[in-house]
């Protein structure tokens, strides 16, 4: 369902957004390289000082590559839902105005199409506005509260929950890793607030020249061609084999 949303969301005339929370991140020196003046290498303190933690809320739009972030000391339902509603309102304001519903049955069928194949479905409200966006986010109890689901539906947003063990379907995960590496690698934040400010600064710079994300992309196509040709890629180079090399009889893996 989520893969179909990434591929057909734009064709169906609806936006696709991804939301995720990351953390907590400790204010400790993470590994990584950084640019320094010659003769002045970066140094890290040898003492472990508790500098606090921070979390990050992320709303990502794959089609444009733009991202909205908000650091927070904790991500309770009150904090997350309050911030997400404001961020989604801003996103909705950038979309074309919603048209009036002329055929309620056809409109309901458009909403219901994004629940096909699901074993557990939430009940759609009786009055549905035009479907304007799909929201991919976690399958947590707090994300499925009646108040939040009704708010999303009232604003024309259909939530698509990632299955258990399927967080890799959420493109916001990849965006968060990029922000973390660019903001924190090789640095040392003294407290959680500083880490949050660095990530917000990196997100602002990213949005000046965003990179759109495409589901699968060339890597998916290469893997598909290898499957069709019954080839297996070998790590470290572009070499392939027609069958996966097995260990000789009597040998032990890892020796």
Map out the domains of the chain as residue ranges: 2-208, 217-255
Spatial distance between the Cα atoms of 225 and 212, rounded to a whole number of angstroms? 24
User: So what's the architecture of 2-208 in CATH?
Assistant: 2-Layer Sandwich (3.30)
Q: Look up residue 127 and give its DSSP letter.
A: S
Contact 15, 9 (CB under 8 A): yes
Q: Give the pairing type, strands 240-241 and 53-61.
A: unpaired
Listed in sequence order, the residues at least 6 apart from 182 whose beta carbon sits closer than 8 Å to its beta carbon are 202, 206
Strand ranges (E), 13-52? 15-26
Tens-place pLDDT, residues 157-172: 999 988 877 777 888 8
pTM (predicted TM-score): 0.76
CA distances from 165 to 168, 169, 217 (A): 8, 9, 22
pLDDT at position 35 is: 65
Spatial distance between the Cα atoms of 82 and 183, rounded to a whole number of angstroms? 25
Q: Look up residue 64 and give its DSSP letter.
A: T
Contact 192, 200 (CB under 8 A): no
User: In terms of Cα–Cα distance, which of 25, 1, 3, 12 is closest to 73?
Assistant: 25
Tens-place pLDDT, residues 103-158: 888 878 888 888 887 777 888 888 899 999 999 998 888 888 999 999 999 999 99
Q: Look up residue 142 and give its DSSP letter.
A: G
Confidence band, pLDDT 50/70/90 cuts, at residue 45: low
User: In terms of Cα–Cα distance, which of 118, 114, 116 is closest to 153?
Assistant: 114
């Amino acid at each position: 369902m989520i893969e179909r949303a990434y591929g057909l969301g734009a064709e169906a005339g609806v936006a696709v957004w991804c939301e995720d929370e990351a953390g907590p991140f400790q204010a400790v020196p993470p590994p990584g390289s950084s640019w320094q003046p010659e003769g002045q290498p970066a140094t890290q303190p040898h003492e472990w000082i508790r500098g606090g933690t921070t979390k990050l809320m992320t709303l990502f739009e794959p089609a444009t590559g733009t991202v909205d972030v908000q650091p927070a000391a904790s991500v309770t339902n009150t904090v997350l839902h309050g911030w997400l509603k404001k961020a989604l309102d801003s996103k909705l304001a950038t979309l074309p105005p919603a048209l009036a519903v002329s055929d309620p049955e056809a409109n309901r069928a458009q909403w219901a199409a994004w629940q096909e194949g699901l074993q557990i479905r939430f009940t759609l409200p009786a009055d549905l506005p035009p479907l304007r966006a799909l929201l991919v986010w976690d399958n947590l109890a707090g994300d499925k509260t009646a108040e939040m689901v009704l708010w999303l539906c009232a604003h024309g947003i259909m939530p698509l929950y990632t299955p258990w063990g399927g967080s890799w379907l959420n493109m916001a995960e990849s965006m968060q890793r990029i922000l973390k590496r660019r903001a924190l690698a090789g640095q040392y934040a003294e407290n959680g607030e500083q880490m949050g400010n660095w990530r917000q600064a990196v997100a602002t710079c990213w949005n000046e020249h965003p990179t759109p994300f495409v589901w699968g992309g060339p890597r998916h196509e290469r893997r598909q061609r290898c499957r069709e040709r019954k080839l297996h890629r070998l790590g470290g180079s572009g070499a392939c084999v027609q069958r996966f090399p097995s260990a000789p009889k009597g040998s032990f893996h890892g020796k």
